[in-house]
Amino acid sequence: MLPLLVRQSTLFPKTQKTAPSDAESINHKLLVRAGFMDQLMAGSWTLMPLGLRVVGKINQIIREEMNEVGGQELAMPLLHPKSIWNESGRWDTAKEVMYQFKDIHEKEFALSFTHEEIVMDLLRKQITSYRDLPVYVYQFSTKFRNELRAKSGILRGREFMMKDLYSAHTSEEDLMAYYEKVKAAYVKVFTRLGFNFKVTLASGGVFTDKNTHEFQVLSEAGEDTIYFKDGSMEAVNDEVFEGNKDEYISAKSIEVGNIFPLGTWYAEKMGVFFTDQDGVKKPVWFGSYGIGPTRVMGVLVEVNHDDKGIVWPEVVAPFAVHLISLGQNNLNKAEEVAKKLTDLGHEVLWDDRDIAAGAKFADSDLIGIPHRIIISDKTGDSLEYKNRKSGETSLVSFEELLKVI
């Protein structure tokens, strides 16, 4: 479990007054300035303690919804032998995105950019009969992709986190029924995250010619263009759109999730068969379903910020309360309030630093914790409350504070 109370005097790293000079996107500027992440090289990020807290909360929301549709969490290797990628042919067809290399013995490997082939290898060792199906497994792991344009902050990493779920079935009907269930689970995830998003018909990318569904968050920072009718949850990606564009609303959007009905293509290539009830050997029906939690964190910042900083939605905020004590004479009082809050299970970042009030408020706005409490010589027995999103302030008692948070 995460520590409930963190003293800002000990928090690594400090905030920065200005954004890195190469930062082009809002998420890059704000997440680096506020101390949530750091760039090692283009497309490669350290998640700092604050950033890891946020991603952990995003992951927990995803995990709950994956478990709800029967998903079982596992962890697969990230270092893969060339041979497994040759079986599907993707060693060659996906060369541009895969990091491929030789070790000192001239043996060839790739770093994971996705896991279909690895799951297929698991299935062919474990599945013999229709009784062994369906299978629903998922993981959270690092994916490596040689992205050409790694310029949009954490939206496009060369190394990033993905939740990938895989399902295997005895029939197309069973696959498609589960596909719809996962689609509904994704709608729940992105609704819980507070996104304004569309379930978008799209092409299969490197996977297949069959249509897939992307979950696209409306944002000017997006690289995709989608079309939808007013009020509709559904949209069509520009890449597969057919018809009269004048009848639709068009918008820029960012893909946060993608689900793929993959059919029997992989099973046939890699020899994953089961014996059905009728005694006949058949290939398994397969689907894969991805969400990028680190991209999700970036998108949350793109759509939840103002000119002062980030405005985290409560469900993923690194802390619920930002407690700010002014004056070293108020430290004891602040510690008491912090203790009472954490005893009730609330997560508190306590700014106990001996610095100017203005600097504390600026950092607080930048970091973007939803509820701010100030304890100073002026507040007496009350607490000064400020809501990060609405900017509203009020003097409250501890009991009144508990009702708000």
Residues within the interface to ligand ATP (CB under 6 A): 145, 147, 156-157, 160, 162, 205, 255-258, 290-292, 294-295
List the structure tokens of 37: 């992440």
CB of 218 to Mg ion, least distance (A): 17
Name the residue with the smallest CB distance to ligand ATP: 292
Closest CA to 296 of 359, 219, 226, 369: 219
Q: Which residue has the tokens 């920072």?
A: 221
CB of 62 to ligand ATP, least distance (A): 11
Region of 231 please: left (phi>0), alpha (psi -120 to 50) or beta. left
CB of 256 to ligand ATP, least distance (A): 5
CB of 30 to Mg ion, least distance (A): 25
CB of 202 to ligand ATP, least distance (A): 8
**CA-CA distances (angstroms) from residue 244 to 227, 230, 369?**
10, 15, 44
**Segment 325-334 long-range contacts (CB within 8 Å, at least 24 positions apart):** 325/350, 325/351, 325/352, 325/374, 325/375, 325/376, 326/357, 326/360, 326/374, 326/375, 326/376, 326/377, 327/376, 327/377, 328/354, 329/377, 330/375, 330/376, 330/377, 333/375, 334/375
Contact between 288 and Mg ion per CB under 5 A: no
Alpha-carbon Rg for the chain in angstroms: 24
CB of 143 to ligand ATP, least distance (A): 7
Give the DSSP H or E segment for 61: helix 49-68
Nearer to ligand ATP, 255 or 363 (CB): 255
Find which of Mg ion, ligand ATP, none residue 256 binds, CB within 5 to 8 Å per kind. ligand ATP
Among 258, 294, 304, 379, binds Mg ion (CB under 5 A): 258
Nearer to ligand ATP, 200 or 379 (CB): 200
Name the residue with the smallest CB distance to Mg ion: 258
Closest CA to 368 of 303, 302, 301: 301
Could you tell me which stretch among 65-73, 124-132, 253-261, 315-323 binds Mg ion (CB under 5 A)?
253-261
Nearer to Mg ion, 258 or 379 (CB): 258
Nearer to Mg ion, 167 or 258 (CB): 258
Find which of ligand ATP, Mg ion, none residue 145 binds, CB within 5 to 8 Å per kind. ligand ATP
Beta-strand (E) ranges in 203-317? 212-218, 224-228, 234-237, 249-263, 273-275, 281-283, 285-291, 305-306, 309-310
Could you tell me which stretch among 251-259, 264-272, 322-330, 384-392 binds Mg ion (CB under 5 A)?
251-259
Nearer to Mg ion, 294 or 325 (CB): 294
Which residues, in sequence order, are CB contacts of 175 under 8 Å at separation 6+? 167, 169, 261, 263, 285, 286, 287
CB of 244 to Mg ion, least distance (A): 26
Nearer to Mg ion, 129 or 142 (CB): 142
Nearer to ligand ATP, 53 or 115 (CB): 115
Nearer to ligand ATP, 56 or 327 (CB): 56
Q: Name beta bridge partners: 237.
A: 226
Find which of ligand ATP, Mg ion, none residue 351 binds, CB within 5 to 8 Å per kind. none
Q: Give the three-state DSSP class for 28.
A: helix
CB of 140 to ligand ATP, least distance (A): 12
Nearer to ligand ATP, 256 or 374 (CB): 256
Q: Which residue has the tokens 């602040």?
A: 334
CB of 152 to ligand ATP, least distance (A): 9
Q: Are 45 and 154 in contact (CB under 8 A)?
A: yes
Give the DSSP H or E segment for 181: helix 172-192
List the structure tokens of 202: 């799209």
Q: Please give the residue ranges that form the binding site for Mg ion (CB under 5 A).
A: 258
